[in-house]
Every structure is written in C-alpha cells, then in structure tokens.
Chains A and B, each alone.
Chain A
Amino acid sequence: MIRRDFLKLASTAVGTATLAPWVLEREAAAAAEVDAVKSAFAEAALTRAKVLGASYSDIRINRYRSETIVTRERQVQNVARNQDFGFGVRVLVNGTWGFAASNIVSADEIRRVTAVAVDIARANSLFQRKRVRLAPVQPAVASWKSAFEKDPFDVPLADKIQFLLALNDTALKTNGVSFVNSSMRWVNEQRFLATSDGSRIEQYLIRGDPQLTVTAINRETNDFQTRRSLRGPQGLGYEYIEKYPWQADARQAAEEAVEKLKAKPVEPGRYDLIIHPTNLWLTIHESAGHSTELDRALWWEANYAGTSFLTPDKTGKLRFGSPLVNIVADRVQATALATVAYDDDGVPAQRWYLVKDGMFVDWQTSRELAPLVGHKTSYGCTNGDSWASVPFARMPNVSLEPAAQDTSLDELVAGVEKGILIYGDGSWSIDQQRYNFQFGGQTFREINKGKVGGMLRDVAYQSRTTDFWGACDGIGGRSTYELHGAFNDGKGEPGQVGVVSHGAPVARFRQINVLNTSVSMT
C-alpha cells in the first residue's frame, strides 16, 4: 500500500557553496568506532539472549544516512541531512517473538535492551496460541554493496541545488507554467546483521528519488493541472542525475501541464488501453505485488493493509491473467530498490515466478512464513525499515516480463481501434483483498484506428485484478522494458515503509472501464 505522505521534509536550508562530503564528522567518527566493535556487541547480545532463554536471536546494528533537498521555482525550501544510528534485538522465547531497540549503541545498553526483548517475549509466551517455527537457513558471512556508480553523499550540495534550480528554470520557461516543485532524496543504508544461526552480514545500499511537479493554472477559469516527472526512485547513485535526460523531461512536463488545461475531457466508457511502464509499475505493485504476499493470504495483515483474494489452495490452480502474463519476484536485479544480497533473516536474495503463463504459482515468503505453505526454505523477503523496527515480510521487486519477441509500442498501438495511451502514475486505490482497483495517470492520449492522437484529461481506469490481467493481449519486448518504483510502500503495524521496484514493458489491455474523474463545483 503506497502511503500518502511518506516525505515529512525537515527544515534545513543549505546553499550554494561546497560542503564537505559528510559534514557530520563527529557522528561519522563515532559510528566508525562502533563499526570496529559491533561484532563484539553482537556476540554480547546473542550470548545474553541465549543465557536468558532465547532459542533464536538476531541483532541489527544499522546506520541510515539521508539527504533531502526541496525547491520551488527559484528558491531552495529545505535541505535536511539526517543520520540515524541504533540497534534492534529480536528474540524467540518459547516460540514467541520479542523485540527491543535503542539509539544508544553501547555494551551496557545492548545487554539491557536484549533483556527487555526477552522479557517481552516471555510475558507474551504465557498466552501464545501458536508457536513460531523458522525454516532453516545456511549461515552466511558476507559483505555486499549495491550497484551504484557514484555515491551521492560524495557530491557537493551546491551541485544538487544547482541541478534542481536549473530544472525549475527549464520548466518555468514554458508559457503558462505557474509553479514548479522539485526535490531529490538520497538514502544510504549501512546494515549489519548477526544471528544466533551464525550469520554475519554487512550491506551498503544507495538509492535516490528525484521528483519534479509542474503546475499550470488558468486563473480565469479557476482550473489547474499538474504533470509530474515520469521518473521516480531507483537503486542508483548520483549517476542517475547525470545520465537521465532530466532537462528534456522537465521541458516535456511543462508543455504537457499546459496542454492538459486545454485537453478534451474523456468520455466514460470501455477502451483498449496501452499502458506505459511509467504507469503499469504501480498497477503491478498493487494488484500482483500485494496479492502474492503470503502473510496477507494468511490474514496476518487483516487489521491494516488487508488480506488477499489469493489463498494457499489456489496455488498453481488460479488463472491470474492471460497466458502472455509472466510475473517474477526478484531481489537480485541490479539497480532495483528491493535488491539486497541477504534479507533480515540472513536468507540469500533470489528470483522466482509468482505468475507463470498466466497461472498463479507461488508466494513471497520469510523464514517464518515458508513452512506454513510447505516450503522447506524461505524466498528471503524479510526486512525492517529501521534499526527500531521489527523485521517482517516485505515485497521483493515484482515485475512483468517482456515478450520474447521485441514488440514495439507502435505495433501495440496499431492493433487498437479506439483506445487510450497512458503515461505516468497518478491517483491509485485498491481494495483490501486486491480485487477492485482504480488508477489515474499523468498524461493520456487518444488512440483512433491505430494512431495516437490528442490529449485527454480526467482519465482513470477501473478494473478487477484477474479481469484486467486476463484482458492483456499484447506485451512489448525487451526494448520497451523499464524499471520504476516507490520509496513509500506502507505495511505492518507499527507501520513501516518499504522500497520496491517494478519492471514492465509497455502492454495492451482490451476493453477496460474508464471514468471521467472531473467534478463540477458549480
């Protein structure tokens, strides 16, 4: 479930001069000292947990760095730099979980907090109905870095600010543009996991999320339209800024925001849709990504994110989509947001099919979930979004495979009599069992007799998951495949945010219900 308000931007304005790569030298130095002794800390926690009666324990000692720069028009609104360092201890006592976390990373605090975790587990275990059982895992000792080229934390802030203001300038040059908001957010996770099984795993991840929104306003008619960038978060470093044609995107966004003010309102009805990967990723996320989470199917998320229309007895038996549809789960794809080497259970990253030739065939699992559907091992989907969060099952990258032959966008369009071509993600909503969804977009182009025509506005498509994927009769080839994703996938209680990518080629869906979302205030 993509959260509405993930970015709570802090308030530090930082400017045009060069800044040291990591200005919080004191914290960095303190963290380096802890790095040197964290293995010893981990041993202390795991030993203490065992002495206190835990049958399993793990400790994550993690440091998170983030930097967010926010601008509007020709001014910098916010720059926030944060460093968040701490540890969380998870224990199993009598088949019952306990967890405790603190930002004071010291030997005494680790011993105290480990005891708190055990106390919580023991108190709850007196009333526990079903004991937790974990699928086995081979202990791993490993160190891994994600596939970035240029660490964004080594790039001067001045360069980043200059980039965003230049982007805004480009958009503002288009006649009719009223406002431009742009931002970039960088995250570095430095994770250390030690488990009582013997795993000792270090991981270093970088990801970035540049954003641009152009607003065009007609003050005479009291109308306004926005157009967001078609690019979003990626598991990339600063090379994402340097290699993607952001200026061209800003120009196009500005022109299309203005064009939307004059676009033809869509006539509600059934249309053939050609959906670009910039839009389809979110539909994959909500309809296929969440419905194949095993914890949802077992009603573990019933109180918040919801359950699933898929149930264990439907594995291998339910037709999810047309035979063209192959949906794969993946934690090894380079530059994807949910890619890791090992999950927070110490399970190695893998790739597997969820939907094969249109049939629903498998689940997303963790060590705790896997035995519940007869799997001997976990697919490695456990993740905690902070040292202070309890790790639990989170979505891997879930993607629609491209067709074997390299079908182009134009070839798919050529097969449409009356349809709409959709780019960019807009409004999104789906029910708690992942049947009924409604998605908007950023731009919509009319298709008439196999040709792309003028712009439409106020479009949303609404369907039912298996009807929608069953209506897929054309899938683009590898050359149309793109990876998009989210920084703000909400799940769990207490709520955690996940990061996840979804790859897709362009695809065609027949006779999908389209709404006009405009409402008159007069």
Chain B
Amino acid sequence: MLLTEADSRAIAARLLGYVKADDAVVFLQSEDYSHLRFAANTFLTSGKRERTTARVTVWIDKRRGSSSTTDLTDAALKQAVEDAQTFARLAPVDVEYLPSLAQQTYRGGQGWVDATARVDLPARARQISEAIAQSENAKIIGAGFHEVGLLAQATATAHGNFHYERGSIVGLAMTARTPDGSGSGYFARNHVDVARLDTRRIAREAIRRAVDSRGARMLPAGAYPVILEAQAVADLLDSGGMSFDARNADEGRSVFSLSAGATRVGTKLFDPRINIVSDPFRPELSKFTASDEGVPAQTTYLVRNGVLETLRYTRFWGQQKNRQPSGPLGLILEPSMPGVSVDEMIKTAKRALLVSRFFYIRTVDPRSASVTGLTRDGVWYVENGEIKYPVRNFRFNQSIVLMLGPGNVDAIGVPERVASSEGGTDPLLAPALRLNAFNFTSQSDAI
C-alpha cells in the first residue's frame, strides 16, 4: 500500500519531532511493483513486492548520520532518529555540509495515473497471452517483460520544506525471434498511463523486425552513414558515456574539460540544430519533480543550438561555483526545427545502415566520450531511398560527442518517449538520427 500525502506528512512530522540534532532531512518511499515475464512463448515468472522505507539524516555540529527503517511505529521511528544521531556524534565534520532546504516551490508533476494503479492480474495475464498469440500466429518465438511500478515519495526538512509525489509506470518490452534463429526483433515502450501503452503495437513491431531481419548479409566493418532509430539513440545517451557532471569537468576528468582548468562550456561542440535539455515536466516524460533531498526540478538547456550552455551541479558544487543546484534529470535531445520521420530519412538516404538498437555499451575513452557496443535486433542496408536487405550485427567504437558534432548530423527526427534497452524504465525523449559516419569496427555473428 502506497503512503498517502497525509500519511507522509504525519510520519515526517513524527520523525522531525524526535530530532534533537541541528538539522535533519527525512525521505519516505513506498513501492508497489509487479511483473510478468515470458519467454519461449510461455510465462516464466510473475510476482509482486511491497516495500516502505523511512530514512532520516541528521547533522550535529556539521557531522552527519543517517539510518533507515521499514517499521513505521512510533517506537521504531524514534529509534531510527536516535540511531542517526548516534552516527552523527561519531562522524567527522562533513566538509560538504549545506543547511537543509527551506520550503521550496514545486511545480506539480503529472506522473501519476489512477488507471495504471488499477491494472489487475487476470487482465494482464490475458493481455500478455495475446502478445504470445501474436507470436504463435506469426510462427515466431516471443520473449518479453511486462511491469507495473507505483511509487510514492516524500521529503521533509528541519528547515520547513515538505514535498510529496506519486508516480506510476507501466511498460512492455518484447523480443521476437524466428524459430531457426535467423531473425530477431525488439520493441519496448513504457508510459505513466496504461491507456497509452499499446501492447499489440509492441508485439507487432518486435515480430515485424524479426521477420524482416532474416537472412542478414555480412558487410565489412568500417565507417558507414547510419539512421539510428530512437531506441538506438536512447541506448547511447543513457549509456553514461557522455556525462554532464560539472565537478568532473572542472576537475579535468571529463570530455568537457579543457586544459589549464577551463571547460568547454560556451563552445559549439554539437550540430547547430541540436538541443539537449533536462525537463522532467515535459508531459511525455512526467518524471518526479524533486530530488531525494528536495531540490526542485527545473527546465535547463545543457546544449542549445549546438553550444554547450551549462553542466549539472550538485548542491555542494553549485555553491562552490555560484550556480543553481540541478534537480532531477529529465533528458531530452530535440532539434531546433521540426523533426523528420524515419520513413523520410530512409526515402532521402543515398546509402545508410538503419540501426534499431544497441547493446552492451561501455566507455572505452572518457576523454572523448567514446564507447563500444554492438548493434542488436535489426540492422538493414538502405540505398537510394529503399531498405534493400538486412545486415549482420557489428561492434562499434564511437565518440558520442563527435557523433553529434557539426558536420556529422544529417537529419534529426521527432523526439519520442523511450527508455534505454539496457537501463530499465527510466525514460528520455530521443529522436531518430541520420548521421554521416558511424564507426563499426568488427562484425558479430550474433543474431
């Protein structure tokens, strides 16, 4: 059972009432999560977990202590505060201590939909059975994962701040494989609103890609023009290969560092049509609007018209550098002009590889935001405006910054809500991209 706002206020008040320390922050979280996993056209596991946690952090003479409990009785909450205070008395001075936040102003989020919280087990079983039936009818082997996550979070401080918020999410990811293993397709979407999750479309897209990727040809490795679908772009952006962390850049250990302590902020690093924005309020994202310690979300241009405009700051580093601390991230890559559809990108391409997804992306050179990884679940050769044939998978080694740099971006699509296929449900808004060159360094036999 999720905590209500009234429950959360009452628990936070009880916790703060027990605090004898100089300062305190309370964070409450309750979760109701369920899943249904299937593979080989049959159900595998299905389950539900419920968990509630109360965490209190206190400071005594700038020394910090924290503890958490899952027991919300008075005695337990009182003990949690006493435990935290015991830690604080033993701690060294927290040199990065800043007083907890006074009451902040929060814009309301739209991350909760009642209908998503009402998804029931028999209905879900039937819906996923229908996705499996779509696979069976297409003579395809389906595997996938359906999940419903409900989360309530509250933060409160000794300096009077309080914020409560609920979030819902429902998602389906599906992989379809031809029985002979010669074709494989993937498609995944999630949303805060169950009515916006089209499970039939997800199954249909995964199956289509599996069928269309059969009989792939091996092409030599090398630099190719590419059309990256939104999923592939999201996979790269969420890989951690390009971090906007200000402290790392200032300390000289980031792609955004320059010599002698300077950074690349203010320089035109990216294609002039590219904007990279953090905006958790964007309706299609609807993410939580406060950080765990209560920093309100903001809309921030990290890259505007290709220029690196700012980086992201923690409360401490923001204070050191006289910058506003960054709230929660809601990452968006969007063009400064109307986006182009993938179909149009294909129709106007002379020669390109169409890539649906990337896999196992890891940083190989943080100095250039270079990552390696592989294509997965569908690559096709495009020539003179038409998809000609499927292509076997490649390994790539590619700098994300150079990939988005001036002269390499040919066309930008319409941003859509998509989560990294390797990173869980956390969504971003990513467009498809047509790029002049992308470095494929070896071939993979994997299908």
Q: Are B48 and A120 in contact (CB under 8 A)?
A: yes
B110 interface residue (CB < 8 Å to A): no
CB-CB under 8 A from B360, the residues of chain A are 1, 429-432
CB-CB under 8 A from B252, the residues of chain A are 178, 217, 219, 222, 224
Complex Cα spacing A462 to B239, Å: 20
A4, A129, A390: the one within 8 Å of B132 (CB):
A129
B47 interface residue (CB < 8 Å to A): yes
A13, A85, A301, A392: the one within 8 Å of B63 (CB):
A13
Known: A119-B121, A224-B367, A493-B145. A433 touches B63 (CB 8 A): no
Q: Are B174 and A102 in contact (CB under 8 A)?
A: no
Q: Are A120 and B57 in contact (CB under 8 A)?
A: no
Task: Pick from A93-101, A197-205, A332-340, A409-417 the stretch touching chain B.
Answer: A93-101
Complex: chain A residue closest to B34, CB-CB: A120
Within B167-212, the residues touching A (CB, 8 Å) are 173-175, 177, 181, 184, 186
Q: Are B91 and A494 in contact (CB under 8 A)?
A: no
B7-51 interface bits toward A, Cβ cutoff 8 Å, 1 = contact, 0 = none: 000000000000000000000000001111101111111111111
Q: Are A102 and B364 in contact (CB under 8 A)?
A: no
Task: Pick from B152-160, B379-387, B393-401, B407-415 the stretch touching chain A.
Answer: B393-401
Closest CB in chain B relative to A60 CB, distance in Å = 13
Chain A: how many interface residues by the 8 Å CB criterion? 101
Known: A24-B67, A219-B259, A390-B47. A4 touches B424 (CB 8 A): no
A126 interface residue (CB < 8 Å to B): yes
Q: Are B87 and A103 in contact (CB under 8 A)?
A: no
Closest CB in chain A relative to B397 CB, distance in Å = 7
Complex Cα spacing A121 to B63, Å: 49
Instruction: Indicate the member of A19, A26, A518, A520 with the most B CB atoms within 10 Å.
Output: A26
CB-CB under 8 A from B76, the residues of chain A are 26
CB-CB under 8 A from B161, the residues of chain A are none
Complex Cα spacing A79 to B90, Å: 12
Complex Cα spacing A384 to B67, Å: 25
B67, B83, B92: the one within 8 Å of A13 (CB):
B92
CB-CB under 8 A from A128, the residues of chain B are 42-43
Q: Are B125 and A300 in contact (CB under 8 A)?
A: no
A324 interface residue (CB < 8 Å to B): no
Q: Are A519 and B441 in contact (CB under 8 A)?
A: no
Q: Are A14 and B91 in contact (CB under 8 A)?
A: yes
CB-CB under 8 A from B126, the residues of chain A are 127
Within B366-388, the residues touching A (CB, 8 Å) are 366-368, 370, 372-374, 376
Instruction: Indicate the member of B34, B173, B367 with the most A CB atoms within 10 Å.
Output: B367
Within A439-465, the residues touching B (CB, 8 Å) are 440, 458, 460, 462, 464
Complex Cα spacing A306 to B444, Å: 14
Known: A120-B48, A120-B121, A303-B175. A431 touches B65 (CB 8 A): no
Q: Are A519 and B260 in contact (CB under 8 A)?
A: no
Chain B: how many interface residues by the 8 Å CB criterion? 103
B299 interface residue (CB < 8 Å to A): no
CB-CB under 8 A from A303, the residues of chain B are 39, 143-145, 173-175, 186
CB-CB under 8 A from A134, the residues of chain B are none
A44 interface residue (CB < 8 Å to B): no
Closest CB in chain A relative to B355 CB, distance in Å = 14
Complex Cα spacing A98 to B173, Å: 20
B129 interface residue (CB < 8 Å to A): yes
CB-CB under 8 A from B261, the residues of chain A are 219
CB-CB under 8 A from A19, the residues of chain B are 86-87, 90
Q: Are A13 and B122 in contact (CB under 8 A)?
A: no
A1, A96, A219, A431: the one within 8 Å of B395 (CB):
A431
B37, B370, B393, B395: the one within 8 Å of A517 (CB):
B370
B344 interface residue (CB < 8 Å to A): no
B255 interface residue (CB < 8 Å to A): yes
Complex Cα spacing A164 to B220, Å: 49
A15 interface residue (CB < 8 Å to B): yes
Complex: chain A residue closest to B82, CB-CB: A26
CB-CB under 8 A from B129, the residues of chain A are 127
Instruction: Indicate the member of A10, A307, A392 with the most B CB atoms within 10 Å.
Output: A307
Known: A388-B49, A458-B365, A495-B424. A433 touches B446 (CB 8 A): yes
Q: Are A103 and B143 in contact (CB under 8 A)?
A: no
CB-CB under 8 A from A10, the residues of chain B are 66
A144 interface residue (CB < 8 Å to B): no
Q: Are A517 and B364 in contact (CB under 8 A)?
A: yes
Q: Are A98 and B52 in contact (CB under 8 A)?
A: no
Inter-chain pairs besides A300-B39, A435-B444, A518-B365, 18 sampled, C-beta below 8 Å: A13-B94, A15-B90, A81-B87, A101-B50, A102-B49, A158-B90, A217-B253, A303-B144, A303-B175, A427-B362, A427-B364, A431-B395, A432-B446, A434-B446, A438-B395, A464-B445, A493-B37, A518-B367
Chain B contact residues, CB within 8 Å of chain A: 33-37, 39-52, 57, 63-71, 75-76, 79, 83-84, 86-87, 89-92, 94-96, 121-122, 124-126, 128-129, 132, 141, 143-145, 147, 173-175, 177, 181, 184, 186, 239-240, 251-253, 255, 257-261, 359-368, 370, 372-374, 376, 393, 395, 397, 399, 401-402, 424, 441-447
Chain A contact residues, CB within 8 Å of chain B: 1, 4-5, 10-19, 23-24, 26-27, 30, 75-77, 79-82, 85-86, 88, 96-104, 116-117, 119-121, 123-124, 126-130, 157-158, 161, 178-179, 215, 217, 219-224, 298-304, 306-307, 309, 388, 390, 392, 427-436, 438, 440, 458, 460, 462, 464, 493-495, 513, 515, 517-521
